[in-house]
Chains A and B, each alone.
Chain A
Amino acid sequence: MVLSTIVKSIEYMLKRPYTRLVPAKSRPFKTERLRGAHLLDMSKCTGCSMCQLVCPANAIDMVEVEGNYPQNPRRRFPRIDLHKCTYCGLCVEYCPFNALYMTSITGFELYTRDKKTTLKTPLELSKVDPSLITVRREMLAVKEVKPGG
C-alpha cells in the first residue's frame, strides 16, 4: 500500500502544478463570466437609486457629480465601495437602465494599500476599460416565462 502511494505521489509530482503564484507569476484566476469590479455607463444612468436600494452590503451610495448629463438632471450617480461589495451582481441585475456592468477585474487588482482607493467614485467607475466587461444585465435579469412554458 505504501509503495503504491509513493508511486502515485511521483506521478502527481510530474503533473502540472495546481498552485498559482499570484501576483509574481500569474494574474488572478478569471473566467468569462467572472463577477468583478463594476463599470458605470454615465450616459445611461438616471440616478434612480435602484442599485443602492438593492445592495445587500450597503456598498453603494449616491453622490453628486459635476458635468452635464441630460438624462440625469440631479447629477446623482452611484459610488461603490469595493471593499464592502460582495460581488453578488444584484445591482447589475436590478438597474432598470442597463447602466451597470461587471468586469473581470478581481483579486489584487482591486486593492492597493491606500484604503481610500476602494471607494470608487462614479467617474472612476465609468473609466474602466469596456473590453473587460463580463456580466451584463441580460445575463442575470429574469426572462418572463408565460405560464405553461
Chain B
Amino acid sequence: MAGSYTVYFGPQHPGAPGNIGFKLELEGERVVKAELIPGFLHRGFEKMIENRKWENSYVLSYRFCVEDPDSLEVAYAEALDKVFRVEPPEKARYFRMIQAEFSRIASHMFWVHFMAGSTGLRTPAYWASAAREEILKWFAWVTGHRVYHNFSVPGGIRGEVPEGFGERTTQLTYLVEDIVKDVEKALLGNRVFKRRTRGVGVIKGDVALKLGATGPVVRGGGLKYDTRKIAPYERYDKVSFEIPVGEVGDSYDRALVRFREVYESLKIIRQAVLEVRRGEPYRVKVPLTAPPGRGYARVEAARGEYTVHVVSTGGRSPYRVRFKSPSLPLLTTVLNYILENEEVTIADLPVIFASLDPCAPDIDR
C-alpha cells in the first residue's frame, strides 16, 4: 500500500553506515528523501588538537578514521612540514607513500565486509579480513602498533625501518594480491551481486564532483580525478600507476574501481620499497616552536580527498587546525541526488550506503 511515512534509520542499525542516523521519507517502499542526523561521535578533534603542543598534537590527528588512519597521518605530517618549513628526507617521503597505500588497501578490505554483508555474500568478506590481517601484522612489525601507527611525524618518519624491510614488504604485496584476486572473483563475479548492484545508485563522475564528492565515487562515474595525479604530494610523481575508472557510475562500478585501485596501490608500494633503504636518514629535527605561517596539505585517502589546513601564529600550539573530510557530501548531496533520480527501495539503501563507503567518525569528528 502506497502511503507517506517518516522512518528513523540508525544509528544502531546493521544497514546504517556507522554510528549515524537518517530520517527517511518513504512513499510506500520507495525512499524519496534522506536527512542525515550526525553528531553521535562528535568529540571536537580540531579543538583538541589546537589545545595541544606541536610535538604531541599529531597523536590525535588520525584518530577519527579507524579504517584509514594513515592517510590522515601523512596529511597532517605534510601540513606541519610546511608550517615548520622543513624538507623531510627522501626515504621518509617514500615510506609515507607505502604507509598510506597499505592503509588504503586495508580500508578497502574492510569495506568488502559492508559491501558483501549488504548483498548477502558473507564468504569473501572473511578472506578480505585475512588480507587486512596480514597488513596489520606488517604495520605492527614496522611501527609497533596495529591500527594507529603514529609513525609519520613532522620532519620525516619516526624510526628506522626494521631489518629485511624490502623483502618482507614485497612478499606481502604478492600475498595480498593473491587474496584480493580471490575476493574480487568471488564477489564481482557473483550473479546475485551483479543483480543487486548494477544500475543501483547511479551517479556520473562530473555530477558527483560538483556535489562535493571525491574518491572512488567520482572515479566510478568515469571521471579521472585523483589527487595523487592532479596535485602530487610526497613522491607520487615519481612512481607510475594508473587511475582506474568505471563507466556507468553505479554501485557495481564503484566496487570495481576499489578492487582495481588495490592493484595500483600494490604497484606503487613495489616501486616505493626500492627507495627505502636502511641506514639512510629518516627524520630531521623540528623546533618546539613553529614560525608564523600556514601549512596546507591535500591527500587522496581511501574515501576521497582529505585536506588539512594548519595556521600558526608563532606559538607552542597550532592556532587553527581544520580538516575537510570526504564523507559528508556522500551522505548528504550525493545520496539525495541518487534518491531524486532513481527509484530506491529500502532494500537497496544498504547497498548504496556500502558502495559509497562513508566513514561516520570523520563526518562528526
Q: Which residues of chain A are within 8 angstroms of B159 by Cβ–Cβ distance?
A: 33, 139-140
Knowing A56-B52, A88-B59 touch, does A4 contact B185 (C-beta < 8 A)?
A: yes
Assess the B140–A31 pair: CB atoms within 8 A: yes
**Residues 168-209 of chain B: 1 if any A CB is under 8 Å from the residue's CB, otherwise 0?**
000000000000001001100111000000000000000000
Distance in Å: Cβ of B337 to nearest Cβ of chain A: 32
Give A55 to B56 CA distance when docked, in angstroms. 7
Assess the B146–A142 pair: CB atoms within 8 A: no
Number of interface residues of B (CB under 8 A): 40
Distance in Å: Cβ of A2 to nearest Cβ of chain B: 7
Q: A94 in the interface, Cβ–Cβ < 8 Å?
A: yes
Q: A144 in the interface, Cβ–Cβ < 8 Å?
A: yes
Assess the A89–B281 pair: CB atoms within 8 A: no
Knowing A56-B60, A142-B283 touch, does A18 contact B144 (C-beta < 8 A)?
A: no
Q: Which residues of chain B are within 8 angstroms of A55 by Cβ–Cβ distance?
A: 56
Give A86 to B177 CA distance when docked, in angstroms. 32
Assess the A89–B89 pair: CB atoms within 8 A: no
Give A12 to B182 CA distance when docked, in angstroms. 10
Distance in Å: Cβ of B320 to nearest Cβ of chain A: 19
Q: B237 in the interface, Cβ–Cβ < 8 Å?
A: no
Assess the B191–A135 pair: CB atoms within 8 A: no
Q: B145 in the interface, Cβ–Cβ < 8 Å?
A: yes
Knowing A5-B190, A145-B284 touch, does A12 contact B127 (C-beta < 8 A)?
A: yes
Assess the A88–B150 pair: CB atoms within 8 A: yes
Q: Which residues of chain A are within 8 angstroms of B155 by Cβ–Cβ distance?
A: 142
Within 8 A of B (CB), among A109-149: 134-135, 139-140, 142-145, 149
Assess the A134–B144 pair: CB atoms within 8 A: yes
Could you tell me which B residues sit within 8 Å of A by CB distance?
Answer: 52-53, 55-57, 59-60, 89, 123-124, 126-127, 129-130, 133, 137, 140-146, 148, 150, 155, 158-160, 162, 182, 185-186, 189-191, 281, 283-285
Ordered by A's residue number, 19 sampled pairs between the chains whose C-beta atoms are within 8 Å are: A1-B189, A1-B190, A5-B123, A8-B127, A9-B123, A18-B130, A31-B144, A33-B141, A33-B143, A34-B144, A56-B60, A86-B59, A89-B150, A90-B56, A90-B59, A135-B144, A139-B159, A139-B160, A149-B281
